[in-house]
Amino acid sequence: MPFAPDSVTSSPNAPRPWWRQPPLWIGALPLVLFLILAAADLAAARAFTESGKAISSALLGSLWQWMAVVLFLIAVGLAISPIGRLRLGGVDARPSLKVFDWCAVLICTLLAGGGVFWSAAEPLFHFQTPAPYFAGIEGSTAAAVDPALAVSFLHWGFLAWALVATTVTITLSIRERRGEPLRPRSLLVGLLPRTWVEGGMGDLADGVSVVAAIAGTVGPLGFLSLQLSHAAGQLPGLQDSASLQSLVVVLLTAIFASSTVSGIQRGIKWLSELNVWLTLAMAAGLLLLGPGLWLMRHFLTAFGTYLLNLPQMALAANSRPDNWVNGWTVFYWGWFLGYAPLMGLFTAGVSRGRSVRELVLAVAILCPIVTNLWFTLLGGTGMALELSNSGSISGPLSDNGAAAALLAILGQLPLAWLLIPVGLVLVVLFMATSADSMSYAAAMVVSGQRTPPALLRLFWALMIGSLTLVLLRIGSGLGDSTSIDALQAFIVITAVPVTPLVLTSLWSAPRLAWKEWRQQEASTP
Protein backbone atom coordinates (compact mmCIF):
# COMPACT_ATOMS: atom_id res chain seq x y z
CA MET A 1 0.00 0.00 0.00
CA PRO A 2 1.48 3.38 -0.96
CA PHE A 3 0.57 4.95 2.36
CA ALA A 4 1.48 2.12 4.69
CA PRO A 5 1.44 2.73 8.45
CA ASP A 6 5.05 1.67 8.84
CA SER A 7 6.15 4.42 6.49
CA VAL A 8 4.59 7.28 8.41
CA THR A 9 6.72 10.36 8.50
CA SER A 10 6.03 12.62 11.41
CA SER A 11 6.16 16.38 11.26
CA PRO A 12 7.67 18.57 13.93
CA ASN A 13 4.15 19.10 15.23
CA ALA A 14 3.21 15.40 15.25
CA PRO A 15 2.55 15.17 19.04
CA ARG A 16 -0.30 17.64 18.68
CA PRO A 17 -3.71 16.31 17.59
CA TRP A 18 -4.66 17.11 14.01
CA TRP A 19 -7.23 19.73 15.01
CA ARG A 20 -4.48 21.75 16.68
CA GLN A 21 -2.11 21.70 13.72
CA PRO A 22 -1.43 25.27 12.44
CA PRO A 23 -1.71 24.31 8.71
CA LEU A 24 -5.30 23.22 9.34
CA TRP A 25 -6.34 26.66 10.50
CA ILE A 26 -4.13 28.53 8.05
CA GLY A 27 -5.84 26.55 5.30
CA ALA A 28 -9.41 26.72 6.60
CA LEU A 29 -9.54 30.30 7.88
CA PRO A 30 -9.21 32.17 4.52
CA LEU A 31 -11.94 30.02 2.99
CA VAL A 32 -14.27 30.62 5.92
CA LEU A 33 -13.57 34.37 5.87
CA PHE A 34 -14.32 34.48 2.16
CA LEU A 35 -17.63 32.72 2.73
CA ILE A 36 -18.52 35.19 5.46
CA LEU A 37 -17.72 38.09 3.14
CA ALA A 38 -19.76 36.56 0.31
CA ALA A 39 -22.70 35.90 2.63
CA ALA A 40 -22.60 39.47 3.95
CA ASP A 41 -22.05 41.23 0.63
CA LEU A 42 -21.85 39.18 -2.55
CA ALA A 43 -21.05 42.24 -4.63
CA ALA A 44 -18.07 43.07 -2.40
CA ALA A 45 -16.81 39.49 -2.62
CA ARG A 46 -17.13 39.57 -6.39
CA ALA A 47 -15.33 42.92 -6.63
CA PHE A 48 -12.55 41.67 -4.36
CA THR A 49 -11.96 38.49 -6.32
CA GLU A 50 -12.21 40.09 -9.75
CA SER A 51 -9.79 42.89 -8.87
CA GLY A 52 -7.46 40.44 -7.17
CA LYS A 53 -7.51 38.17 -10.21
CA ALA A 54 -6.75 41.09 -12.53
CA ILE A 55 -3.83 42.28 -10.40
CA SER A 56 -2.42 38.76 -9.92
CA SER A 57 -2.67 37.97 -13.62
CA ALA A 58 -1.02 41.23 -14.64
CA LEU A 59 1.85 40.83 -12.17
CA LEU A 60 2.51 37.10 -12.39
CA GLY A 61 0.88 35.99 -15.65
CA SER A 62 4.06 36.12 -17.71
CA LEU A 63 6.01 34.35 -14.97
CA TRP A 64 3.45 31.54 -14.88
CA GLN A 65 3.65 31.17 -18.65
CA TRP A 66 7.44 30.81 -18.56
CA MET A 67 7.25 28.50 -15.53
CA ALA A 68 4.96 26.10 -17.38
CA VAL A 69 7.29 25.92 -20.38
CA VAL A 70 10.56 25.61 -18.43
CA LEU A 71 9.09 23.08 -16.01
CA PHE A 72 7.95 20.85 -18.87
CA LEU A 73 11.37 21.05 -20.54
CA ILE A 74 13.12 20.15 -17.27
CA ALA A 75 10.81 17.17 -16.73
CA VAL A 76 11.36 15.86 -20.26
CA GLY A 77 15.10 16.45 -19.98
CA LEU A 78 15.26 14.38 -16.79
CA ALA A 79 13.21 11.60 -18.39
CA ILE A 80 15.36 11.18 -21.49
CA SER A 81 18.65 11.48 -19.58
CA PRO A 82 20.24 8.62 -17.61
CA ILE A 83 18.63 10.17 -14.53
CA GLY A 84 15.34 8.86 -15.89
CA ARG A 85 16.25 5.46 -14.44
CA LEU A 86 16.12 6.89 -10.91
CA ARG A 87 13.59 4.96 -8.84
CA LEU A 88 11.38 7.14 -6.65
CA GLY A 89 11.41 5.96 -3.06
CA GLY A 90 14.81 4.30 -3.29
CA VAL A 91 16.45 1.50 -5.24
CA ASP A 92 14.54 -1.17 -3.29
CA ALA A 93 11.14 0.49 -3.60
CA ARG A 94 8.53 -1.40 -5.58
CA PRO A 95 5.25 -0.10 -7.02
CA SER A 96 2.16 -0.88 -4.98
CA LEU A 97 -0.20 -0.32 -7.92
CA LYS A 98 -0.25 -2.11 -11.26
CA VAL A 99 0.52 0.05 -14.31
CA PHE A 100 -3.12 0.23 -15.36
CA ASP A 101 -4.29 1.07 -11.84
CA TRP A 102 -1.54 3.65 -11.43
CA CYS A 103 -2.33 5.38 -14.72
CA ALA A 104 -6.05 5.26 -13.91
CA VAL A 105 -5.47 7.00 -10.58
CA LEU A 106 -3.28 9.67 -12.23
CA ILE A 107 -5.69 10.37 -15.09
CA CYS A 108 -8.77 10.48 -12.87
CA THR A 109 -7.40 12.48 -9.95
CA LEU A 110 -5.11 15.17 -11.34
CA LEU A 111 -7.02 17.35 -13.82
CA ALA A 112 -9.97 15.13 -14.63
CA GLY A 113 -12.60 16.92 -12.54
CA GLY A 114 -12.20 20.14 -14.48
CA GLY A 115 -11.35 18.44 -17.75
CA VAL A 116 -14.53 16.41 -17.98
CA PHE A 117 -16.57 19.58 -17.53
CA TRP A 118 -14.68 21.75 -20.01
CA SER A 119 -14.11 19.06 -22.64
CA ALA A 120 -17.53 19.68 -24.15
CA ALA A 121 -17.66 23.46 -23.76
CA GLU A 122 -14.18 24.94 -24.25
CA PRO A 123 -13.58 23.80 -27.86
CA LEU A 124 -17.00 25.25 -28.74
CA PHE A 125 -16.12 28.63 -27.23
CA HIS A 126 -12.90 28.78 -29.26
CA PHE A 127 -14.80 27.51 -32.32
CA GLN A 128 -17.28 30.39 -32.12
CA THR A 129 -14.65 33.01 -31.27
CA PRO A 130 -11.18 31.91 -32.48
CA ALA A 131 -8.20 32.75 -30.28
CA PRO A 132 -6.05 35.70 -31.37
CA TYR A 133 -3.24 33.33 -32.38
CA PHE A 134 -5.23 32.43 -35.48
CA ALA A 135 -5.92 35.76 -37.15
CA GLY A 136 -8.11 35.58 -40.20
CA ILE A 137 -9.99 32.44 -39.09
CA GLU A 138 -13.74 32.99 -39.21
CA GLY A 139 -15.65 31.62 -36.25
CA SER A 140 -18.20 28.81 -36.54
CA THR A 141 -16.70 27.55 -39.79
CA ALA A 142 -14.88 24.37 -40.76
CA ALA A 143 -11.60 26.30 -40.72
CA ALA A 144 -12.09 27.08 -37.01
CA VAL A 145 -12.19 23.42 -35.88
CA ASP A 146 -8.46 22.68 -35.69
CA PRO A 147 -7.52 26.02 -34.08
CA ALA A 148 -10.27 25.54 -31.47
CA LEU A 149 -8.98 22.10 -30.57
CA ALA A 150 -5.35 23.28 -30.61
CA VAL A 151 -6.06 25.99 -28.02
CA SER A 152 -7.90 23.47 -25.85
CA PHE A 153 -4.91 21.14 -26.16
CA LEU A 154 -2.69 23.99 -24.93
CA HIS A 155 -4.76 24.47 -21.78
CA TRP A 156 -5.15 20.77 -20.99
CA GLY A 157 -2.04 19.31 -22.62
CA PHE A 158 1.65 18.80 -21.94
CA LEU A 159 2.34 22.04 -20.08
CA ALA A 160 -0.72 21.80 -17.85
CA TRP A 161 -0.07 18.24 -16.69
CA ALA A 162 3.64 18.80 -16.20
CA LEU A 163 2.88 21.87 -14.10
CA VAL A 164 0.72 19.84 -11.74
CA ALA A 165 2.85 16.83 -10.91
CA THR A 166 6.37 16.42 -12.30
CA THR A 167 9.16 18.51 -10.75
CA VAL A 168 7.19 19.00 -7.53
CA THR A 169 6.56 15.25 -7.33
CA ILE A 170 10.23 14.43 -7.92
CA THR A 171 11.40 16.94 -5.30
CA LEU A 172 8.93 15.81 -2.64
CA SER A 173 9.61 12.13 -3.31
CA ILE A 174 13.37 12.52 -2.86
CA ARG A 175 12.98 14.77 0.16
CA GLU A 176 10.61 12.27 1.75
CA ARG A 177 13.09 9.41 1.20
CA ARG A 178 15.68 11.51 3.01
CA GLY A 179 13.48 11.79 6.06
CA GLU A 180 11.54 14.96 5.37
CA PRO A 181 7.76 15.01 5.86
CA LEU A 182 5.65 14.54 2.74
CA ARG A 183 4.32 18.09 2.97
CA PRO A 184 4.70 21.24 0.84
CA ARG A 185 7.09 22.70 3.43
CA SER A 186 9.67 20.16 2.30
CA LEU A 187 10.05 22.14 -0.93
CA LEU A 188 11.76 24.80 1.20
CA VAL A 189 14.35 22.47 2.76
CA GLY A 190 17.87 23.58 1.90
CA LEU A 191 16.63 27.01 0.85
CA LEU A 192 15.57 28.38 4.23
CA PRO A 193 16.91 27.80 7.76
CA ARG A 194 15.73 24.55 9.31
CA THR A 195 13.97 26.40 12.14
CA TRP A 196 11.94 28.36 9.61
CA VAL A 197 10.92 25.25 7.68
CA GLU A 198 9.87 23.45 10.86
CA GLY A 199 8.21 26.55 12.27
CA GLY A 200 5.94 29.29 11.05
CA MET A 201 7.22 29.47 7.47
CA GLY A 202 6.62 25.75 7.01
CA ASP A 203 3.14 26.03 8.52
CA LEU A 204 2.40 28.89 6.13
CA ALA A 205 3.62 26.90 3.12
CA ASP A 206 1.41 23.95 4.07
CA GLY A 207 -1.58 26.17 4.79
CA VAL A 208 -1.54 28.22 1.57
CA SER A 209 -1.12 25.01 -0.43
CA VAL A 210 -4.27 23.62 1.17
CA VAL A 211 -6.15 26.87 0.47
CA ALA A 212 -5.19 26.83 -3.22
CA ALA A 213 -6.05 23.18 -3.74
CA ILE A 214 -9.38 23.29 -1.89
CA ALA A 215 -10.39 26.51 -3.69
CA GLY A 216 -9.53 24.88 -7.00
CA THR A 217 -11.71 21.88 -6.16
CA VAL A 218 -14.78 23.73 -4.89
CA GLY A 219 -15.27 25.69 -8.10
CA PRO A 220 -15.55 22.70 -10.48
CA LEU A 221 -17.68 20.85 -7.97
CA GLY A 222 -20.11 23.78 -7.94
CA PHE A 223 -20.30 23.96 -11.72
CA LEU A 224 -20.75 20.21 -12.05
CA SER A 225 -23.45 20.29 -9.39
CA LEU A 226 -25.33 22.91 -11.41
CA GLN A 227 -24.87 20.75 -14.50
CA LEU A 228 -26.22 17.64 -12.80
CA SER A 229 -29.07 19.57 -11.25
CA HIS A 230 -29.97 20.98 -14.66
CA ALA A 231 -29.95 17.47 -16.12
CA ALA A 232 -31.98 16.00 -13.27
CA GLY A 233 -34.51 18.80 -13.67
CA GLN A 234 -35.39 17.39 -17.09
CA LEU A 235 -36.71 14.18 -15.53
CA PRO A 236 -40.47 13.76 -14.87
CA GLY A 237 -41.48 14.96 -11.43
CA LEU A 238 -38.28 16.96 -10.85
CA GLN A 239 -37.56 20.64 -11.31
CA ASP A 240 -34.23 22.40 -11.25
CA SER A 241 -34.23 24.31 -7.99
CA ALA A 242 -32.02 25.38 -5.13
CA SER A 243 -33.16 22.34 -3.17
CA LEU A 244 -32.24 19.97 -5.99
CA GLN A 245 -28.84 21.64 -6.36
CA SER A 246 -28.24 21.18 -2.65
CA LEU A 247 -29.27 17.53 -2.85
CA VAL A 248 -26.82 16.96 -5.72
CA VAL A 249 -23.97 18.47 -3.70
CA VAL A 250 -24.84 16.32 -0.69
CA LEU A 251 -24.90 13.15 -2.78
CA LEU A 252 -21.60 14.00 -4.50
CA THR A 253 -20.00 14.76 -1.13
CA ALA A 254 -21.21 11.44 0.25
CA ILE A 255 -19.61 9.61 -2.68
CA PHE A 256 -16.15 11.17 -2.53
CA ALA A 257 -16.15 11.29 1.29
CA SER A 258 -16.73 7.53 1.38
CA SER A 259 -14.01 7.06 -1.20
CA THR A 260 -11.36 9.11 0.60
CA VAL A 261 -12.14 7.46 3.93
CA SER A 262 -11.68 4.05 2.28
CA GLY A 263 -8.19 5.05 1.16
CA ILE A 264 -6.10 4.74 -2.00
CA GLN A 265 -6.14 1.00 -2.44
CA ARG A 266 -9.87 0.62 -2.01
CA GLY A 267 -12.03 3.70 -2.64
CA ILE A 268 -9.93 5.96 -4.86
CA LYS A 269 -8.44 3.06 -6.83
CA TRP A 270 -11.86 1.45 -7.37
CA LEU A 271 -13.50 4.70 -8.51
CA SER A 272 -10.58 5.44 -10.83
CA GLU A 273 -10.77 2.01 -12.47
CA LEU A 274 -14.54 2.34 -12.95
CA ASN A 275 -13.95 5.80 -14.35
CA VAL A 276 -11.49 4.58 -16.95
CA TRP A 277 -13.70 1.73 -18.17
CA LEU A 278 -16.76 3.96 -18.47
CA THR A 279 -14.67 6.58 -20.28
CA LEU A 280 -13.50 3.96 -22.76
CA ALA A 281 -17.10 2.88 -23.29
CA MET A 282 -18.21 6.48 -23.82
CA ALA A 283 -15.31 7.13 -26.21
CA ALA A 284 -16.27 4.06 -28.24
CA GLY A 285 -19.87 5.24 -28.29
CA LEU A 286 -18.90 8.70 -29.56
CA LEU A 287 -16.69 7.21 -32.28
CA LEU A 288 -19.29 4.71 -33.46
CA LEU A 289 -22.42 6.84 -33.11
CA GLY A 290 -20.87 10.18 -34.01
CA PRO A 291 -18.61 11.32 -36.84
CA GLY A 292 -15.81 8.91 -35.88
CA LEU A 293 -13.55 9.28 -38.92
CA TRP A 294 -14.04 13.05 -38.93
CA LEU A 295 -13.04 13.21 -35.25
CA MET A 296 -9.91 11.10 -35.70
CA ARG A 297 -8.81 13.15 -38.71
CA HIS A 298 -9.24 16.39 -36.81
CA PHE A 299 -7.51 15.01 -33.73
CA LEU A 300 -4.39 14.40 -35.82
CA THR A 301 -4.52 17.67 -37.74
CA ALA A 302 -5.37 19.70 -34.62
CA PHE A 303 -2.55 18.02 -32.70
CA GLY A 304 -0.18 19.04 -35.47
CA THR A 305 -1.52 22.60 -35.27
CA TYR A 306 -1.02 22.49 -31.51
CA LEU A 307 2.61 21.38 -31.76
CA LEU A 308 3.48 23.87 -34.50
CA ASN A 309 1.98 26.80 -32.61
CA LEU A 310 2.86 25.69 -29.07
CA PRO A 311 5.69 28.20 -28.46
CA GLN A 312 3.63 31.06 -29.85
CA MET A 313 0.55 30.14 -27.81
CA ALA A 314 2.37 29.30 -24.58
CA LEU A 315 4.43 32.51 -24.48
CA ALA A 316 1.97 34.99 -25.97
CA ALA A 317 2.30 38.53 -24.64
CA ASN A 318 0.43 39.15 -21.42
CA SER A 319 0.03 42.90 -21.90
CA ARG A 320 -3.36 43.91 -20.47
CA PRO A 321 -5.27 42.72 -17.40
CA ASP A 322 -8.37 42.12 -19.51
CA ASN A 323 -6.77 40.49 -22.55
CA TRP A 324 -7.51 37.05 -23.95
CA VAL A 325 -4.35 35.48 -22.54
CA ASN A 326 -5.27 36.49 -19.00
CA GLY A 327 -8.86 35.38 -19.42
CA TRP A 328 -7.93 31.91 -20.60
CA THR A 329 -4.31 30.73 -20.42
CA VAL A 330 -3.14 32.64 -17.35
CA PHE A 331 -6.29 31.64 -15.48
CA TYR A 332 -5.63 27.98 -16.20
CA TRP A 333 -1.96 28.22 -15.21
CA GLY A 334 -2.95 29.87 -11.92
CA TRP A 335 -5.55 27.18 -11.32
CA PHE A 336 -3.18 24.29 -12.01
CA LEU A 337 -0.32 25.96 -10.17
CA GLY A 338 -2.47 26.04 -7.05
CA TYR A 339 -2.98 22.30 -7.35
CA ALA A 340 0.72 21.50 -7.75
CA PRO A 341 1.95 21.15 -4.12
CA LEU A 342 -0.87 18.87 -2.99
CA MET A 343 -1.14 16.94 -6.23
CA GLY A 344 2.63 16.62 -6.23
CA LEU A 345 2.68 14.95 -2.84
CA PHE A 346 -0.33 12.79 -3.75
CA THR A 347 1.42 11.67 -6.93
CA ALA A 348 4.64 11.06 -4.97
CA GLY A 349 2.71 8.73 -2.71
CA VAL A 350 1.10 6.64 -5.44
CA SER A 351 4.26 6.64 -7.61
CA ARG A 352 6.64 5.15 -5.07
CA GLY A 353 8.71 2.52 -6.85
CA ARG A 354 8.26 4.10 -10.29
CA SER A 355 11.17 5.60 -12.17
CA VAL A 356 11.45 9.28 -13.05
CA ARG A 357 11.06 8.28 -16.70
CA GLU A 358 7.84 6.40 -15.99
CA LEU A 359 6.48 9.35 -14.01
CA VAL A 360 7.18 11.91 -16.72
CA LEU A 361 5.93 9.67 -19.53
CA ALA A 362 2.70 8.98 -17.64
CA VAL A 363 1.99 12.47 -16.27
CA ALA A 364 3.45 14.78 -18.92
CA ILE A 365 2.92 12.70 -22.09
CA LEU A 366 0.30 9.93 -21.75
CA CYS A 367 -2.24 11.79 -19.61
CA PRO A 368 -2.21 14.90 -21.85
CA ILE A 369 -2.69 12.84 -25.01
CA VAL A 370 -5.61 10.96 -23.43
CA THR A 371 -7.10 14.26 -22.25
CA ASN A 372 -6.70 15.86 -25.69
CA LEU A 373 -8.36 12.86 -27.31
CA TRP A 374 -11.27 13.18 -24.89
CA PHE A 375 -11.62 16.89 -25.72
CA THR A 376 -11.69 15.95 -29.40
CA LEU A 377 -14.39 13.33 -28.93
CA LEU A 378 -16.75 15.57 -26.96
CA GLY A 379 -15.91 19.06 -28.15
CA GLY A 380 -15.25 17.85 -31.69
CA THR A 381 -18.63 16.11 -31.83
CA GLY A 382 -20.24 19.36 -30.71
CA MET A 383 -18.52 21.31 -33.48
CA ALA A 384 -19.51 18.70 -36.08
CA LEU A 385 -23.14 18.93 -34.97
CA GLU A 386 -23.02 22.73 -35.05
CA LEU A 387 -21.56 22.72 -38.57
CA SER A 388 -24.32 20.42 -39.81
CA ASN A 389 -27.12 22.22 -37.95
CA SER A 390 -26.28 25.78 -36.95
CA GLY A 391 -27.62 26.72 -33.54
CA SER A 392 -28.11 23.15 -32.33
CA ILE A 393 -25.21 23.47 -29.89
CA SER A 394 -24.48 27.18 -29.81
CA GLY A 395 -28.08 27.91 -28.84
CA PRO A 396 -28.09 25.91 -25.57
CA LEU A 397 -24.54 27.10 -24.89
CA SER A 398 -25.64 30.73 -25.20
CA ASP A 399 -28.82 30.24 -23.19
CA ASN A 400 -27.51 28.13 -20.31
CA GLY A 401 -23.71 28.48 -20.38
CA ALA A 402 -20.99 25.82 -20.37
CA ALA A 403 -23.03 23.46 -18.20
CA ALA A 404 -25.48 22.86 -21.06
CA ALA A 405 -22.88 21.75 -23.61
CA LEU A 406 -22.64 18.10 -22.59
CA LEU A 407 -26.37 17.41 -22.68
CA ALA A 408 -26.78 19.35 -25.92
CA ILE A 409 -24.14 17.20 -27.62
CA LEU A 410 -25.20 13.81 -26.29
CA GLY A 411 -28.89 14.56 -26.81
CA GLN A 412 -28.45 14.76 -30.59
CA LEU A 413 -26.66 11.43 -31.00
CA PRO A 414 -28.23 8.01 -31.54
CA LEU A 415 -28.88 6.15 -28.29
CA ALA A 416 -29.02 9.46 -26.44
CA TRP A 417 -31.12 7.74 -23.77
CA LEU A 418 -28.03 5.64 -22.93
CA LEU A 419 -25.24 8.14 -23.59
CA ILE A 420 -26.69 10.88 -21.37
CA PRO A 421 -26.88 8.73 -18.19
CA VAL A 422 -23.38 7.36 -18.84
CA GLY A 423 -22.07 10.89 -19.40
CA LEU A 424 -23.63 12.12 -16.17
CA VAL A 425 -22.22 9.15 -14.24
CA LEU A 426 -18.79 10.02 -15.64
CA VAL A 427 -19.23 13.61 -14.43
CA VAL A 428 -19.97 12.29 -10.96
CA LEU A 429 -17.08 9.84 -10.91
CA PHE A 430 -14.48 12.23 -12.29
CA MET A 431 -15.46 14.88 -9.78
CA ALA A 432 -15.45 12.32 -6.99
CA THR A 433 -11.96 11.06 -7.81
CA SER A 434 -10.61 14.62 -7.96
CA ALA A 435 -12.29 15.67 -4.72
CA ASP A 436 -11.33 12.54 -2.78
CA SER A 437 -7.68 12.83 -3.82
CA MET A 438 -7.69 16.48 -2.69
CA SER A 439 -9.24 15.50 0.63
CA TYR A 440 -6.63 12.79 1.09
CA ALA A 441 -3.76 15.09 0.15
CA ALA A 442 -5.00 17.92 2.41
CA ALA A 443 -5.20 15.47 5.30
CA MET A 444 -1.64 14.34 4.59
CA VAL A 445 -0.44 17.94 4.71
CA VAL A 446 -2.13 18.69 8.02
CA SER A 447 -1.13 15.45 9.75
CA GLY A 448 2.29 14.95 8.18
CA GLN A 449 1.46 11.26 7.75
CA ARG A 450 1.35 9.01 4.71
CA THR A 451 -1.87 7.49 6.06
CA PRO A 452 -3.71 10.38 7.69
CA PRO A 453 -6.52 9.67 10.15
CA ALA A 454 -9.82 8.78 8.52
CA LEU A 455 -11.57 11.50 10.51
CA LEU A 456 -9.20 14.13 9.12
CA ARG A 457 -9.79 12.90 5.56
CA LEU A 458 -13.52 13.10 6.22
CA PHE A 459 -13.11 16.63 7.60
CA TRP A 460 -11.64 17.95 4.34
CA ALA A 461 -14.17 16.08 2.22
CA LEU A 462 -16.99 17.65 4.22
CA MET A 463 -15.24 21.03 4.02
CA ILE A 464 -15.23 20.85 0.20
CA GLY A 465 -18.87 19.80 0.12
CA SER A 466 -19.95 22.42 2.66
CA LEU A 467 -18.16 25.25 0.87
CA THR A 468 -19.79 24.26 -2.40
CA LEU A 469 -23.21 24.00 -0.78
CA VAL A 470 -22.95 27.40 0.86
CA LEU A 471 -21.64 29.07 -2.29
CA LEU A 472 -24.50 27.73 -4.37
CA ARG A 473 -27.03 29.04 -1.87
CA ILE A 474 -25.48 32.49 -1.70
CA GLY A 475 -26.73 33.47 -5.14
CA SER A 476 -30.06 35.23 -5.18
CA GLY A 477 -31.58 33.46 -8.13
CA LEU A 478 -31.90 29.89 -9.34
CA GLY A 479 -28.74 28.75 -11.03
CA ASP A 480 -26.95 31.95 -10.21
CA SER A 481 -23.26 31.15 -10.47
CA THR A 482 -21.95 34.52 -9.37
CA SER A 483 -20.57 33.08 -6.15
CA ILE A 484 -18.86 30.27 -8.05
CA ASP A 485 -17.45 32.75 -10.53
CA ALA A 486 -16.06 34.72 -7.62
CA LEU A 487 -14.40 31.65 -6.21
CA GLN A 488 -12.96 30.82 -9.64
CA ALA A 489 -11.34 34.24 -9.59
CA PHE A 490 -10.24 33.50 -6.03
CA ILE A 491 -8.40 30.47 -7.43
CA VAL A 492 -5.98 32.77 -9.25
CA ILE A 493 -5.42 34.80 -6.08
CA THR A 494 -4.66 31.70 -4.01
CA ALA A 495 -2.06 30.63 -6.58
CA VAL A 496 0.06 33.70 -5.78
CA PRO A 497 1.55 32.47 -2.46
CA VAL A 498 1.99 28.98 -3.92
CA THR A 499 4.12 30.29 -6.80
CA PRO A 500 7.43 30.45 -4.86
CA LEU A 501 6.97 26.85 -3.70
CA VAL A 502 6.55 25.51 -7.23
CA LEU A 503 9.29 27.81 -8.52
CA THR A 504 11.82 26.20 -6.16
CA SER A 505 11.20 22.80 -7.82
CA LEU A 506 12.67 24.04 -11.11
CA TRP A 507 16.03 24.08 -9.35
CA SER A 508 15.66 21.44 -6.66
CA ALA A 509 14.20 18.66 -8.85
CA PRO A 510 17.14 18.30 -11.28
CA ARG A 511 19.71 18.93 -8.54
CA LEU A 512 18.25 16.37 -6.14
CA ALA A 513 17.55 13.85 -8.92
CA TRP A 514 21.18 14.09 -10.09
CA LYS A 515 22.54 13.47 -6.59
CA GLU A 516 20.07 10.66 -5.90
CA TRP A 517 20.79 8.96 -9.23
CA ARG A 518 24.53 9.00 -8.57
CA GLN A 519 23.97 7.42 -5.17
CA GLN A 520 21.70 4.72 -6.59
CA GLU A 521 24.16 3.98 -9.39
CA ALA A 522 26.99 3.70 -6.89
CA SER A 523 25.03 1.29 -4.70
CA THR A 524 23.89 -0.91 -7.60
CA PRO A 525 26.24 -3.86 -8.32
- pLDDT tens digits, one per residue of 400-428: 677 678 888 988 989 888 888 888 888 77
Work out the percent of the chain whose per-residue pLDDT is above 90: 37
pLDDT at 487: 60
Phi, psi of 226 (to 5 degrees): -60, -40
How many whole angstroms separate alpha carbon 28 and alpha carbon 19?
11
Residue type, 189: V
Domain range annotation of the chain: 5-106+165-362+419-516
Is the pLDDT at 314 greater than 70? The verdict is yes
CA 414, 116, 275: angle at the middle one, nearest 5? 80
CA 363, 301, 153: angle at the middle one, nearest 5? 35
Lowest-pLDDT range of 23-27, 41-45, 139-143: 41-45
How many whole angstroms separate alpha carbon 19 and alpha carbon 14?
11
Lowest-pLDDT range of 190-194, 340-344, 451-455: 451-455
Lowest-pLDDT range of 201-205, 458-462, 481-485: 481-485
Contacts (Cβ under 8 Å, ≥6 apart) of 161: 110, 111, 363, 364, 367, 368, 371
Question: Mean per-residue pLDDT for 117-122?
Answer: 86
| Nearest C-alpha neighbor of 364 from the set 515, 182, 501, 169 | 169
Question: Mean per-residue pLDDT for 263-283?
Answer: 71
pLDDT class for 216, splitting at 50, 70, 90?
confident
> DSSP letters of 259-325?
HHHH-IIIIIHHHHHHHHHHHHHHHHHHHHHTTHHHHHHHHHHHHHHHHHHHHHHHT-----TTSHH
pTM value is: 0.88
Better-scored residue on pLDDT, 100 or 298: 298
Query: Which residues in 326-349 are b (16+ Cβ under 10 Å) and which e?
Result: bebbbbbbbbbbbbbbbbbbbbbb
pLDDT class for 7, splitting at 50, 70, 90?
very low
Residue 226, SS3 per DSSP = helix
pLDDT class for 35, splitting at 50, 70, 90?
confident
pLDDT at 295: 96
How many whole angstroms separate alpha carbon 93 and alpha carbon 461?
30
pLDDT class for 258, splitting at 50, 70, 90?
confident
CA 104, 105, 110: angle at the middle one, nearest 5? 110
pLDDT class for 2, splitting at 50, 70, 90?
very low
| Nearest C-alpha neighbor of 367 from the set 71, 129, 159, 64 | 159
pLDDT class for 486, splitting at 50, 70, 90?
low
